[in-house]
Amino acid sequence: GAGVSQSPSNKVTEKGKDVELRCDPISGHTALYWYRQSLGQGLEFLIYFQGNSAPDKSGLPSDRFSAERTGGSVSTLTIQRTQQEDSAVYLCASSLGRGRFRYGYTFGSGTRLTVV
Amino acid sequence: AQSVTQLGSHVSVSEGALVLLRCNYSSSVPPYLFWYVQYPNQGLQLLLKYTTGATLVKGINGFEAEFKKSETSFHLTKPSAHMSDAAEYFCAVSDVRNTPLVFGKGTRLSVIA
């Protein structure tokens, strides 16, 4: 597609429920990133996929968080047993990938998650 | 580990005045540096970047930034602020190892008429 698409744009869930957030990157972009944006905290790196390589999960805050990327394209971020501190905007970005990083990332508009 | 510090969580300028948003970074290897802008309820948009070559880089909307290795800085400037510049600005760092971008906490720019 023309840009990075994220769905849903807004999600309200009850504490303890599981949620899935979807990211559809730009066609041909081999690298995909998930970030979390909390008020006043900037962007926190969560996970990074590059082609068929094992993902870099070093930013995931707990084992309640997981992500997968199917067919090198669409990615899903799953949060299990949501907590109120998970409330944030979850941003997805894609790029042309390793060795071509100088072109920067293209971000989606994000999913605003509210846990009540 | 890399890090970014943005001085001032909120900067307010008058329309037509100089915009200066400060960014200092820490990196053990030569950095790649970026500025992104975020308008309300939107994703981040790349303003400009430094990877190699000329240390003064020009971006969109009249913004520019200068990489100063000796000061570990990458401050963002614009000679004359416009109302449409009001947004959140983020500085970010990576490097030749292609590590995921590390972002600062952001600076909210307000422009007063």
pLDDT per residue rounded down to tens, chain A (116 residues): 579 999 999 999 999 999 999 999 999 888 999 999 998 778 999 999 988 888 999 999 999 999 999 887 999 999 999 999 999 999 999 988 655 556 678 999 999 999 99
Taking CB atoms and an 8 Å limit, are A102 and B43 in contact across chains?
no
Q: How far apart (Å, rounded) are the C-alpha atoms in residues B38 and B18?
A: 20
Helix (H, G, I), strand (E, B) or coil at B61: helix
Q: Extract the tokens encoding A93.
A: 């970005």
pLDDT grade for B42, boundaries at 50, 70 and 90: confident
Q: What digits encode the pLDDT tens for the residues A100-116?
A: 556 678 999 999 999 99
Q: Extract the tokens encoding B87.
A: 């947004």
Residue A70 confidence (pLDDT): 86
pLDDT grade for B13, boundaries at 50, 70 and 90: very high
Which chain B residues have a beta carbon less than 8 Å from that of A48? Answer: 100
In DSSP terms, which residues pair with A89 in a beta bridge? A37, A112
| Direct distance between the N- and C-terminal alpha carbons of chain B, in angstroms, rounded to an integer | 41
Which chain A residues have a beta carbon less than 8 Å from that of B89? Answer: none
Contacts 24+ apart (CB under 8 A), A109-112: A109/A6, A109/A9, A109/B41, A109/B42, A109/B43, A110/A6, A110/A9, A110/A37, A110/B43, A111/A6, A111/A7, A111/A8, A111/A9, A111/A10, A111/A11, A111/A21, A112/A9, A112/A10, A112/A11, A112/A88
Chain A CB within 8 Å of residue B34 CB? yes
Cis peptide before A8 (omega within 30 of 0): yes
Q: Ramachandran region of residue B53, left (φ > 0), alpha (ψ -120 to 50) or beta?
A: left
Taking CB atoms and an 8 Å limit, are B100 and A110 in contact across chains?
no
